[in-house]
């Protein structure tokens, strides 16, 4: 098993302030010490990253999609990008090519 970085870009239905971003982290995966959530204030985006182990890059991208579904359940909006990054390669899914 390898360790991959999972990365998401999300546009919430309603803009989030710092308190809402903090609450989202608690709701999303409270036991994930590596989970990071931040917002891009000028663009209205929320970014999420964490690490996960998977057998390969394809499986890691599947885990990133799963995290995206969890994010959408906790914070409705549009998932713009889902990525899995390994030491030597990455896979990216984008809502708009």
Domain annotation covers residue 79: yes
d(CA 73, CA 47): 15
Domain annotation covers residue 16: yes
pLDDT per residue over 2-25, tens digit each? 999 999 999 999 989 989 999 998
pLDDT per residue over 44-93, tens digit each? 899 999 999 999 999 999 999 999 999 999 999 999 999 999 999 999 99
d(CA 37, CA 61): 18
* 96 SS3 class: coil
User: For the whole model, what pTM was predicted?
Assistant: 0.93
| CATH at residue 37 | 3.30.70.2450
Quote the number of domains for the chain: 1
d(CA 68, CA 8): 7
Domain annotation covers residue 95: no
């Amino acid at each position: 098993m390898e360790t991959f970085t999972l990365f998401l870009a999300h546009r919430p239905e309603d803009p989030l302030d710092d308190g809402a971003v903090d609450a989202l982290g608690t709701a999303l995966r409270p036991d994930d010490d590596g989970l990071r959530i931040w917002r891009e204030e000028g663009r209205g985006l929320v970014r999420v990253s964490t690490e996960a182990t998977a057998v390969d890059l394809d499986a890691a991208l599947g885990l990133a999609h799963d995290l995206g579904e969890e994010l959408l359940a906790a914070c409705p909006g549009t998932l713009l990008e889902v990525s899995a990054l390994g030491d030597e390669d990455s896979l990216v899914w984008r809502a708009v090519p």
